[in-house]
Structure formats: structure tokens, C-alpha cells
Chain A
């Protein structure tokens, strides 16, 4: 095994264990790992952005291929930096106006088309299917396209919309509809929470799988040694905190 792989395994194991120590309580090992994470993430982002944007997408096409038209977006982008010069800060508005204008122009029609009209279209499906000229009704709750599910979906959408309709008082039939809407919302929140639990547990499983992998002799039993070192460090740190300061002794 290469030295880089071994070093990577030890660093990954150590940082994972340091982060996990927060479950015991906040401590210097956790702080170290947290600060390293922030520093490495920012450093990586800066280097990749510089390499991809400034070198590959701007410098190389201009200098090696003579594509000087890139000076226009480069100029507009550079205006953003005018924010740092108080007298010329107004120039940055040109760049912001360009971004907001183009961004809104591109996004608004597509969002309306993709996420509103398409979803409305899917909500108002026929409640009864016509199969070989005869009306049929399918009851399979496990099939998302069944007629029964179409009715459930329609009731859900309408009742939730009623719940968020605040222009009239929720009394009588409106109250019934709004209450039904709450039930649908609760089911949706429950499903979202269930998926979130699954996702968080997956992250834990991922880290523990790596720790298990790095506990083998090929990796120098990194998980075991670093686990032991982490526990000892935490123990010593806790003992030191419990001791009263010298002036109180």
C-alpha cells in the first residue's frame, strides 16, 4: 500500500473520531477537526475556482486561442469588485442588474412551466379511466397512478390549499377541509422526517464502515490506535478541567 493511501486513512480516521467526540461534549479535538474542515474546504474552493474559471475558461482561450470576446463577460464580472471602492461602488450595480435580469428571465418562465403547470396537470388527472370503451376504477393504493390514488391526491392538494387560505375564517366546511389538510401535512412531515432519519443514519453507517475498513492490519489498525488515543486525550482533558485553578487551591 502506498504511503499516500496510508496517510489518507490515518487522517480520515483521526478526523472522524475527533468530530465524533462532540457527542461526548465540546472539546479541543472537535474544534481542531472543525477548523481544519473549514480551512480545507475554503482552500479547495479557491484553488479549483482559480484553476477552472480564471485559467481554463478565461486565460487559456484568450491567450492561446485568441478569443478576445471573453473580455466582455470578464469586464462585467470585474465590475463586481467595484463594491470595495466607495466612490465607484455604483458600477457594481451594472453587474448585479445583468445577473438579476438574465437569471430572472431564464428562471421564471421555466419554473412556472416545469414546477407549476406540469404539477397542476398531474394533479387533475381523470378520476375514472376508460379501458376498451368502458369506464373502470382502479383501487390499488400501491400504484401511484391508480384512480383511488388520484382522488387521494386531489383531496390532499385541495385540503392543504384550504389550510393555507387565510382570507376567510376556518369555520364550518372550511374548517373540515383545513383540518383534513393538516392530516395530509402531518403525513408529509412524517415521510420527510423518516427519510431524514434514514439519510443521517446512512452518514453514520458510511463513517463507521470506513472506520471498520481502516481497523485492519494493512492500514496499521488506524481506527484502534487513534480511537485509543482519542479516548485517553479526552480523559486527560476532562481531568484537567475538573482541577480547580491554582489561585483557588
Chain B
């Protein structure tokens, strides 16, 4: 067996180990590689930045714990930005398994920014229906959510004063790990109730959402952990996502190297004299 053949039959657990080491080392010893902010992330940031104080910002955290590493940092960064701008924040989720996670991030960020539930923000929790829930919210927010997550009647909450339907919301951002998510909010929400819509998503679904960005159906897109890191840079609070970018670069470098090496080994096998004789 030639060297190339031996390398192509290498125990795959060694590759897992290599990727693990490439991820762990930059986390333990950060390098601090530069992060350039992309226009699509700027789109979301600029829109929130331009909103006047007291505007209504709805953050729909449409993900479950499986997507936490990518979307949790996005939620933290967006909420910090919104609270810093003194926007009135409505939090909710279309994903039942993500309810606890969404409540945790709202409470945590609101607590550190000194915001009060019911006065500065409200967490509505989850309600079934996705598309029909959005339509319901577009007709009457209080019918869709008669109470908030903590069983407080929504009609009595100061933060929702003057809001009747989704038409009264200034900006909606959906942080999506799949369907239901950004597309659902566009389909049943923005298209009919004409609010501005931005998005944040996992890396897996990001390529499928770029057509919506180009056509102006969404005004910005925060893609994966990379997008979260860019947003952290924009708000000047570098945390988990930025810390993970060195590891991201190292693993990408390792994977590119492995792909090139594999192709070289395949080429060597195909062009070796032994292979030629066999033909």
C-alpha cells in the first residue's frame, strides 16, 4: 500500500482529534484576528440605530437549544443594542423547544441593562400556529397573546401602550434556525402588515436567504456565529462570538488543508504506474 493509499485510509478519529485540537487551542490562547463587518449585518445595525427612542422592536427567537452557539450570541447583541437605544422590546418565539432559552436571554440582558419586565420589555413566550399566529398578531396582538410568559394580561402592560397590531411595530427581527422563521415572518407578516423585517440565521440556512436580502424583502441578515461576531464588533461588546472566531478560522484552515491533501492523494493514486497497469 502506497503512502497516498495509507493516508486515504487513515483512522477518521485522528481527523476528529485534529479538528478538536484546532478548535480548542484558539479558545485557550486567542489570537484576535480582525473581523470585517459585512453590509448585510450593517443593514440590521443601521436600521436599529436609526430608530427613535421608544420605538417598538420585536425580536422573534425562532430557534431551539441545538442552534444556541450561533443564535444566542446574536440575540444577546441585538437585545443589548435595542435596550441601549431605549427601544420598547417585545420578545417571543415560534419554536416551542426554544421558549426557555429565549426567556433566559431576555431576562439576562434586560437585567444587566437595568430594564423592567412589563415597562421596558415584554416576553410573550410561545403560542402555536406559526403562520396563523403571525396573522392573528397582525389583526389583534392581544388576542394572539392575552397574557405574557409570566401570565400578566398584555393589555395592562405599559410597554405595549399604543400597540394594537403588527402594523404598529417598527422593526421585526427573526433569529431563525429553519422553518418557522424569517420566511414565515415575511410570508404572513411583512408582506401584509408592512413592517420592516431583518433576519439572523444559522449558517446552514443563510445561503437560502440571500435572495430575500437582494430583492429587499429583508433589510439585513446576520449569518451564523460570524454574523454574531460582526454585530458584537458593531456594538462594541466583544464576547462569545468574537472569542469563537479564531477557532472558526483555525478549523476552516484545517478543513481546507485536508480537502487539498485528499485531492492530492487521490490524484497520486490515479496517476501511479500500478494503477495504470491495472487499466
Contact = CB atoms under 8 A, between A and B. Distances in A.
Contact of B248 (A41, A56, A195, A198): A198
Interface string A188-208: 100110011111011111111
B220 interface: no
B233 interface: no
B19 A204 contact: yes
A195 B204 CA distance: 6
A199 B70 contact: yes
A44 interface: yes
Given A198-B252, A205-B225, A188 B207 contact: yes
A1 interface: no
A41 B27 CA distance: 30
B217 A114 contact: yes
Contacts of A107: 131, 187
A53 interface: yes
A24 B203 contact: no
Given A208-B27, A212-B28, A52 B132 contact: no
Nearest to B70: A202
B214 interface: yes
A106 B157 CA distance: 31
B96 interface: yes
B176 interface: no
A195 B128 contact: no
Contact of B23 (A44, A196, A197, A208): A208
A56 to B, nearest CB: 6
A197 B256 CA distance: 11
Contacts, number: 130
A98 to B, nearest CB: 12
Nearest to A102: B132
B37 interface: no
Interface in A23-47: 23-24, 41, 44-45
Given A56-B146, A119-B215, A212 B252 contact: no
Interface stretch (B83-91, B108-116, B239-247): B239-247
Q: Interface range on chain A: under 10, 10 to 19, 20 to 34, or 35 or more? A: 35 or more
A202 B255 CA distance: 14
Nearest to A191: B207
Specify the main secondary structure of chain A where it touches its partner: helix
A144 interface: yes
Given A192-B207, A208-B27, A201 B251 contact: yes
Contacts of A110: 187-188, 191-192
A209 interface: yes
Contacts of B3: none
Interface of B: 13, 16, 19-20, 23-24, 27-28, 66, 68-70, 96-97, 99-100, 125-128, 131-132, 135, 146-147, 151, 183, 186-188, 191-192, 202-204, 206-208, 211, 214-217, 223-226, 240, 243-244, 247-248, 251-252, 255
Given A118-B215, A202-B202, 18 more contacts: A24-B13, A45-B96, A48-B126, A52-B126, A106-B131, A106-B132, A110-B188, A115-B183, A195-B204, A198-B226, A202-B225, A202-B248, A204-B19, A206-B69, A206-B244, A208-B20, A209-B240, A209-B244
Interface of A: 23-24, 41, 44-45, 48-49, 52-53, 56-57, 60-61, 102, 106-107, 110-111, 113-115, 118-119, 121-122, 144-145, 188, 191-192, 195-199, 201-209, 212
The 3 closest A-B pairs by CB, nearest first: A206-B69, A199-B203, A122-B215
